[in-house]
Amino acid sequence: MTAPLHEPTAKAAPSPVAEAAPGAVDEAAAVGGDTGPVQGRSPARIAWERLKRDRLALTGGAVILALIVIAVLAPVISNLVGQDPDVFHEDRIDPLFGTPKGSLGGISGEHLLGVEPVNGRDIFARILHGARISLLVGFLSALVAVVLGTVLGIVAGFFGGWVDAAISRVMDGLLAFPQLLFIIALVSVMPNDMLGMTGSSVRVFVMILVIGFFGWPYIGRVVRGQTLSMREREYVEAARALGAGRLHILAKELLPNLVAPIVVYTTMMIPTNILTEAALSFLGVGVKPPTASWGQMLSNAIDYYDSDPLYMIVPGVAIFTTVLAFNLFGDGVRDALDPKSSR
């Protein structure tokens, strides 16, 4: 009999309960347990529980996690398969046409996804290393945009007046700015080395800054709008009525309500930035050759679309999968954070 074990915890449990069927013992323990019948769930926990039920979002999240692991471990993985992204394999190339020997772009046990035409670099290794560039630019430029957008959006929404007018006009201006043309122009006048960086590092650094800089107005507008509506809420007024100061209201009353839109916009912004990076590299103003990038691979593959279609398909699928995964995950996060959505 387990009854004696429960005597100390179940403070008011009458003995009939303890003597009843074994199932009832659990109930007695639950009633007397220190968690109690009332347990509040925090908004973050509610959102997490909703997200857990969304299979598409979870799949997206899993793919993103896998991509991050791949990007971080790219050198390790390519070493494991015995390939280097920069080594030429001219022996694998048909000298007459410049295309890989064998079917399907030269897929073999050695080169899992075949080799590039002409140079014969291993595509698998280059895809792995391309993931690094894509995610690095995607995440860091989103970070730049989120930090700028959140700070300036909150300031504009909260303080209003001429501050709001100034920031809003800057946002309007940036949104109307031909971003792509600007970057293309910028890259053509950019020095080859700066701040101790050379070659592709400079390009990546500049891309992160520029994409982030042109991206912040999107998130800035959302945050500003949200701040405007939040600061009119009665609980903000109630906080003021209790004597709360500006800083307290900004940090404790407004910011928690901005977390949801910021998270959602960030997850939506990352795939857009990855696409922008791919587009820039495709146009030849992004990452410079020996460094691998998906967009650049696609660009090179154009010339071989009929003779070596796989060379085009592989980076295309990589970009597609990544963007899709982020979008699915972003949708799921948005649904999970929005108490009004029901699925």
Partner 1 sequence: MTIPDTSTAVSERPAGASTAPRPFLDVRDLRVHFPTDDGLVKSVDGLSFQLEKGRTLGIVGESGSGKSVTSLGIMGLHTTGQYGRRKARISGEIWLDGTELLSAGPEHVRGLRGRRMAMIFQDPLSALHPYYTIGRQIVEAYRIHHDVDRKTARKRAVEMLDRVGIPQPDKRVDAYPHEFSGGMRQRAMIAMSLVNNPELLIADEPTTALDVTVQAQILDLVLDLQKEFGSAVIVITHDLGVVAELADDILVMYAGRCVERGPAERVFHEPRHPYTWGLLGSMPRLDREQRDRLVPVDGSPPSLINLPSGCAFNPRCPYADVPKDDVTRTIRPEPTEVGDRHWAACHLTREQRERIWTEEIAPRL
Instruction: Return the bridge partners of 100, or none.
Output: 93
> Is residue 177 near partner 1 by the rule CB under 8 A?
no
Please provide the DSSP assignment of 165-222 as one string.
HHHHHHHHHHHHS-HHHHHHHHHHH--SEETTEETHHHHHHHHHHHHHHHHHHHHHHH
Q: Report in angstroms how near the CB of residue 151 gets to partner 1 at its nearest.
A: 20
256 binds partner 1 (CB under 8 A): yes
Among 244, 275, 279, 324, binds partner 1 (CB under 8 A): 244
State the binding string over 16-45 for partner 1 (x if CB under 8 A, else -).
Answer: --------------------x-x-xxxx--
With CB under 8 A as the contact rule, the residue among 95, 234, 306, 342 that binds partner 1 is 234
Among 252, 317, 341, 343, binds partner 1 (CB under 8 A): 252
Q: Which residues are 93's β-sheet partners?
A: 100
> CB of 321: closest distance to partner 1 in angstroms?
35
* SS3 category, 93: strand
Q: Which of 257, 307, 321, 327 binds partner 1 (CB under 8 A)?
A: 257
Decide: helix, strand or coil at residue 71.
helix
How far apart (Å, rounded) are the C-alpha atoms in residues 158 and 22? 59
DSSP 92: G
Does residue 243 belong to the site contacting partner 1 (CB under 8 A)? yes
Pick the closer one to partner 1 by CB: 41 or 55: 41
Yes or no: say if 227 and 153 are a contact pair by the CB < 8 Å rule: yes
The DSSP output letter for 121 is -
Identify the residue among 161, 181, 306, 342 touching partner 1 (CB under 8 A).
Answer: 161
> Which residues are near partner 1 by CB under 8 A?
36, 38, 40-43, 160-161, 231-245, 247-248, 252-253, 256-257
